[in-house]
């Protein structure tokens, strides 16, 4: 699990969550932008373009960072894509991360 030093110098543990994402697009969604954003935020998981023209993936990390990633996936995305709809499912607290980094699956 994640832990950070808080202002008083002690350790505080943040809630760690896992969420599945489905993004419906109008244009190609290069996943290197998603990887860059995930690494910048410090979340782990994966992303994949599907044969139906959507993007799916899983994001895990501190709840605050996962929420930032969800917002980015919903509103920003890659420069060449138009996001028509996003849906997030199976959001739950987890006791440990299932992934050690964020990558693109093929």
> What CATH number does residue 76 fall under?
3.30.70.100
| 53 part of a folded domain | yes
Note down the domain range covering 40: 14-97
pLDDT, residue 3, reads 38
| 26 part of a folded domain | yes
Burial class (CB in 10 A: 0-12, 13-18, 19+), 65: buried
Encode the chain (106 residues) as per-residue pLDDT tens digits: 333 333 444 433 445 667 777 666 555 666 788 899 999 999 999 988 888 878 888 999 998 899 999 999 888 887 777 788 888 888 888 888 889 999 998 8
Block residue for tokens 């499912």: 89
Block residue for tokens 């994402």: 21
| 72 part of a folded domain | yes
pLDDT, residue 101, reads 93
| 30 part of a folded domain | yes
| 5 part of a folded domain | no
Whole-angstrom distance, CA of residue 35 vs CA of residue 45: 9
| 6 part of a folded domain | no
How many domains are there within the chain?
Answer: 1
| 74 part of a folded domain | yes
For the CA atoms of 89, 93, 99, 101, the dihedral, rounded to the nearest 10 degrees, stands at: 90
Whole-angstrom distance, CA of residue 106 vs CA of residue 101: 16
Block residue for tokens 């995930």: 38
| Residues near 54 by beta carbon (within 8 Å), at least 6 away in sequence | 22, 23, 24, 25
| 102 part of a folded domain | no
pLDDT, residue 102, reads 93
pLDDT, residue 56, reads 86
Which strands, in side-by-side order, build the sheet including 44-49? Answer: 83-93, 16-25, 54-62, 44-49, 102-104
């Amino acid at each position: 699990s994640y832990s950070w030093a808080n202002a008083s110098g002690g350790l505080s543990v943040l809630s760690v969550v896992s969420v599945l994402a489905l993004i419906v697009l109008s244009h190609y969604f290069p996943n290197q932008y998603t990887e860059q954003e995930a690494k910048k935020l410090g979340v782990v998981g994966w992303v994949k373009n599907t044969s139906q023209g959507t993007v799916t993936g899983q994001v895990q990390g501190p709840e605050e960072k996962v929420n930032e990633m969800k917002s980015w996936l919903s509103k920003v995305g890659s420069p060449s894509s138009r996001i028509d709809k996003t849906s997030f499912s199976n959001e739950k607290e987890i006791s440990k991360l299932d992934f050690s980094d964020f990558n693109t699956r093929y």
